[in-house]
Structure 1
Amino acid sequence: MLKIEEMAHGEMLALLLRAAYGHLACARDNRPYVVPMNYTFDLQFIYFFTTEGTKTEMIEANNAVCFQVEEFTDPLHWRSVMVTGQAERLERPADVEHAMQLITGHNPTLAPALNETKIGAWTRLNNVVIYRLRPDAIYGRKTA
């Protein structure tokens, strides 16, 4: 039988620092939406960025989000951390610059994905939006 146990707080923070991507969950009008996201974590906030589109519309309607990361070796060896909180859109130039430095420092090759299905509808095609998520709660599980 597979034994699953809670992760220590330090283990959860280490996984958030180490992982390269996670899954962002948001909801609007009782409809959930989950997407993979590149991100960075600075022990206080999770920072992620995107272009204007479905995610930004959903977060503007309801900024309560969940972010999940995992390390998966095989079905018997994995770790998963889930963070809940409020996503805050960064507007101040100093905040945006700080977040971009952290994001590109964590992974210099990152660039927001451009969803071709949205191009025709976008009037703000190249508008990058940066959010930070201050964790309200962090949960972690792992196989023993």
Structure 2
Amino acid sequence: MELIGRGIFEGTKTWSTPRRRTGDNNMIEIEEMRTNEIEELLKTVGYGHLATARNNQPYVVPVHYAYDKPLIYVYTTEGKKSEIIKVNPQVCLQVEDVKSNQDWKSVIALGDAEQVSDPAERERALKLVAEVNPTLSPAVSIRWMDSWVRENIEVILKITPRMLTGRATIAKSDTDAPLAAGERSRSSIY
């Protein structure tokens, strides 16, 4: 696995630096996250978006997960994403912690996914996911409800990351814009 932190992008030999457009006070500074910052975000959030693709058609779904270095375990139910992964195991998991439009972090994990079939590993993974997501319950499509009630097929996927990257806004003074009234941090929805 290649951990990309502090500005090294896969395939380049240059260091990126935080960027700001001059003359525009609404622009924010963004920097590459360090490896320890990437891993800390993966450990604490527990909720993200899993992207798969088949026949050049992307498919993205929200999922619960747990990071157990170097692996990522995803809790989900059988469905389209599982079918796609059987054909094309390459996936992308995006995780974020958004406190405001000027205070956020985002991590991308690119890797290969497979369904966990070993009962001991499955139980261990489920326990890890439940620790990060104490109110965990499977997502259910209303049109599948009847068949789901008859046969609830929970799936644990194991992602072996090939690359982890992260970007975050640079901490500023107390002038950062807070969330508008009634808004919640997106990382707190789970």
TM-score, structure 1 normalization:
0.92
* 1:32 maps to which of 55, 58, 64: 58
1:71·1:80 contact (CA, 8 Å) conserved in 2?
A: yes
- Letter matched to residue 64 of structure 1: Q
Q: Distance in 2 between matches of 1:24 and 1:90?
A: 16
Question: 2:104 aligns to what SS in structure 1?
Answer: strand
Are residue 66 (structure 1) and residue 58 (structure 2) matched?
no
2:45·2:132 contact (CA, 8 Å) conserved in 1?
A: no
Q: Distance in 1 between matches of 2:147 and 2:132?
A: 32
Any stretches of 5+ residues in structure 2 without a counterpart?
Answer: 1-26, 171-190
Q: Which has the larger radius of gyration?
A: 2
Cα distance 1:137–1:11, how it changes in 2: closer, same or farther (>3 A)? same
Q: Distance in 2 between matches of 1:67 and 1:13?
A: 13
Determine the structure 2 residue equivalent to 1:89. Answer: 115
- Cα deviation for residue 121 of structure 1 reads 6.7
TM-score, structure 2 normalization:
0.71
Percent same amino acid at aligned positions?
Answer: 45
Q: Distance in 2 between matches of 1:33 and 1:88?
A: 17
Higher strand share: 1
Per-residue CA deviations over 1:62-101 (Å, capped at 9, x if unaligned) read 1100001111111111110000000011011111111111
Correspondence 1:77-116 to 2 at 5 A: 77-116=103-142
Q: CA RMSD in A?
A: 1.8
Between Structure 1 and Structure 2, how many residues are aligned? Answer: 144
- Cα deviation for residue 5 of structure 1 reads 0.8
Higher RCO, 1 vs 2 (CA within 8 Å, ≥6 residues apart) = 1
Q: Distance in 1 between matches of 2:62 and 2:147?
A: 22
